[in-house]
Amino acid sequence: MSEAKKEKRKLSKGSLKKSLKLYKYVKPYQAEFALGLVFLVLSSVANLALPKFMGDLVDASNSEAIFDNIERTALILLVILVIQAVVSFFRVVLFVNVTEKTLASLRQATYNHLIKLPINFFNSKRVGELNSRISADISLLQETFTTTLAEFIRQIIIIFGGIGILLFTSTKLTLFMLGIVPVVVIIAVFFGRFIRNYAKEMQSEVADSNTIVEETLQGIFNVKAFANEFFEMARYKEKTDAVAKIGMKGGKYRGAFSSFIILGMFGAIVAVIWRGVNLVAVDELAMGELFSFIIYSAFIGGSIGGLANVYANLQKAIGATEDLMGIFDEGTEDLQESSKHEDLSQFKGEIEFKNLSFAYSTRPDQQVINNLSLKVQAGEQVALVGPSGAGKSTIVSLILQFYSNSEGSLLFDNKLAQDYSLSALRSQMAVVPQDVFLFGGTIRENIAYGKTNASEAEIIEAAKQANAWDFISEFPEKLDTIVGDRGVQLSGGQRQRVAIARAVLKDPKILILDEATSALDSESERLVQEALDKLMLGRTSVVIAHRLATIRKADKIAVIEKGKLVELGSHAELIANSEGLYYNLSTLQFNS
């Protein structure tokens, strides 16, 4: 959700209810938080006491014991300032401590929940949006806990406490002040917001003009090739002229705002002083009380003006909380830690599809897998082939239990998939995809991802079996070589072999390969294919094949079309059927 929409979101019963869910993260630290609130109230009360004694200091000059009164009042003011400084220090420290511990718990809970959500959730969300939830939204809550909430309470105390003191000092002057100052402040707030909107519009236009510069300079080859230099100059001129026009109009509004502040705010203060001096003249008010009154009026006016910003920040925080808590409404997968897995030491890796059908939740009327029946014996190598969109990748996702079948059944070792612990079942599988993802750390960390408690000897042995140790040992840092973002420091073949080493280390019963050699040069392909052949020995292997030459030795080839199994057999059996889909696919590839 954009920031603009977040700002405009109204406070509602539902949004407040979701925001209250944050309390469970604050609850362990509620004693510290309550003490922080006590210090906040003391600091605000001390703040309210200052103008009173500053007024007394003025009145002390008119008394007979002038020096004694001045010294006593100055000492009281000093004590109040010291108290205020001390309680403010402890208030800030306590609020920051509670906030940091609360948000650490919230970040951990959000991440833990996110990572346990099913694949279907991530297919419908952008990574940037989810990252925003766990970073920007929580940072917004940090500002709310440490600053906004405290500011809101402090301003409420000052407004109502200040008005109470003023009413006690002079009811007439208070009513006069309340008829002028708050009205001027509220108008100033709305006027200021109107000007900020103009500033945002100008920033948007500037951003658009910068986009033109960026795009034309990046695409300068096309600009010159199509002789569109003057077209781009005209486009940029139009945009920058629009920026200038908005800026000049905004300048008029800023000038009017400046004039209003001078006339309205200072005029209100002058009016209050004028009215106060009249009351002093008829002995209804002391000069020191008038002095205090003016300071209190400034405090109250500033707090009323500040409340608008505080309220806007609270709206943003509630909007962020609502989005954040929305993640927790999503159902997670039933996962378990490895120490709590069911014992699958006797797991063989047999896979069987029985009349299985499946449709994605986003397209419930479109069957991706249609009444599929297929059995893969333990230790057997089965290749899945077929046109693009036939359902091959969906079959793999179903084996990994990323999705549940709509109809029919999926069995492992003659036991329904849903009867296994999800974590235990996946622990028996490994995947080597076509587009390998490596984490940005070291080669050691990426290989050890297959078995996080592996020894160095086990990691090296896995690298050797994956034909990866030769290139790893040539690096100065060997296993501690940084691979960079997504493995950018390694070649495609090197990344594939690291991924194979990761799978070797996991020692799975079921191996899933998504044409791991299709994007490699001949030498890299040979090394990777050798490693894959070793890895598949004795394991149930399901291979998604795009290049049919790589799966001629497969025990069985399952030909999939529109989610249905249309052919099944060895390469020799299928190629003998000149009317079959496999024969047609083979002819097209080998002829080309």
**Interatomic CA distance for residues 309 and 42, integer angstroms:** 23
Q: Edge-to-edge strands of the sheet including 381-385? A: 429-432, 510-514, 540-544, 381-385, 556-561, 564-569
Continuous H helices in 262-333: 266-281, 287-328
Classify residue 234: in a domain, yes or no.
yes
Based on the domain organization, do 54 and 92 belong to the same domain?
yes
**Interatomic CA distance for residues 153 and 34, integer angstroms:** 13
Based on the domain organization, do 140 and 276 belong to the same domain?
no
Classify residue 445: in a domain, yes or no.
no
Which among 284, 319, 350 is the end of a domain? Answer: 284
CB 538 within 8 A of CB 509: no
Continuous H helices in 475-520: 492-506
Based on the domain organization, do 70 and 154 belong to the same domain?
yes
**Interatomic CA distance for residues 384 and 542, integer angstroms:** 7
Classify residue 474: in a domain, yes or no.
no
Based on the domain organization, do 15 and 157 belong to the same domain?
yes
**Interatomic CA distance for residues 528 and 523, integer angstroms:** 9
CB 233 within 8 A of CB 178: no
Based on the domain organization, do 71 and 23 belong to the same domain?
yes
Classify residue 256: in a domain, yes or no.
yes
Classify residue 263: in a domain, yes or no.
yes
Based on the domain organization, do 235 and 134 belong to the same domain?
no
Cβ-based neighbour number of residue 439 at 10 Å: 12
Which among 253, 284, 315 is the end of a domain? Answer: 284
Q: Which residue has the tokens 């050798």?
A: 530
Q: Which residue has the tokens 């209100």?
A: 268
Strands 381-385 and 510-514: unpaired
Determine the Cα angle at 80 with ends 75 and 82, to 5°.
95
Q: What are phi and psi of 369, to 5 degrees?
A: -115, 130
Amino acid at 345: S
Based on the domain organization, do 311 and 213 belong to the same domain?
no
| Size of the chain, expressed as the number of residues it contains | 592
- Taking the CA atoms of the chain, what radius of gyration do you get in angstroms? 36
- List the chain pLDDT tens, one digit each, 592 residues: 444 444 445 555 555 566 666 777 778 888 888 888 888 888 878 777 777 766 666 655 555 545 556 677 677 778 878 888 888 888 888 888 888 888 888 888 888 888 888 877 777 777 666 776 777 777 777 777 777 777 778 878 887 887 787 778 778 777 887 787 777 777 777 777 777 676 667 767 777 777 778 878 877 888 888 788 888 888 888 888 887 887 787 777 777 777 777 777 777 777 777 877 777 777 777 777 777 777 777 777 777 767 667 776 777 777 777 777 777 777 777 777 766 667 777 888 888 888 888 888 777 778 888 888 888 888 888 888 888 888 888 888 888 888 887 788 888 888 888 888 888 888 888 888 877 788 888 888 888 888 888 888 888 888 888 888 888 888 888 888 888 777 777 887 788 888 888 888 888 888 888 876 655 666 677 777 777 777 788 888 888 877 776 777 788 888 888 888 888 888 888 888 777 787 787 777 666 5
Classify residue 526: in a domain, yes or no.
no
Kindly report whether the global pTM for this prediction surpasses the value 0.75.
no
Based on the domain organization, do 43 and 144 belong to the same domain?
yes
Classify residue 439: in a domain, yes or no.
no
Burial class (CB within 10 angstroms; exposed 0-12, middle 13-18, buried 19+) of 553: exposed
Q: Which residue has the tokens 């974590």?
A: 423
Q: Which residue has the tokens 């405090």?
A: 299
> Whole domain around residue 273: which residue ranges?
171-284
Based on the domain organization, do 16 and 124 belong to the same domain?
yes
**Interatomic CA distance for residues 362 and 117, integer angstroms:** 17
Which among 317, 333, 349 is the end of a domain? Answer: 333
**Interatomic CA distance for residues 17 and 40, integer angstroms:** 25
Based on the domain organization, do 89 and 154 belong to the same domain?
yes
Determine the Cα angle at 373 with ends 372 and 375, to 5°.
135
Q: What are phi and psi of 418, to 5 degrees?
A: -70, -10
**Interatomic CA distance for residues 425 and 77, integer angstroms:** 72
The CATH number of whichever domain residue 103 belongs to comes to 1.20.1560.10
Based on the domain organization, do 27 and 134 belong to the same domain?
yes
Contacts of 137 by beta carbon, 8 Å cutoff, 6+ apart: 320, 321, 323, 324
Classify residue 4: in a domain, yes or no.
yes
CB 437 within 8 A of CB 484: no
Q: Which residue has the tokens 């599809």?
A: 353
Based on the domain organization, do 139 and 175 belong to the same domain?
no
Task: Give me the number of domains the chain comprises.
Answer: 2
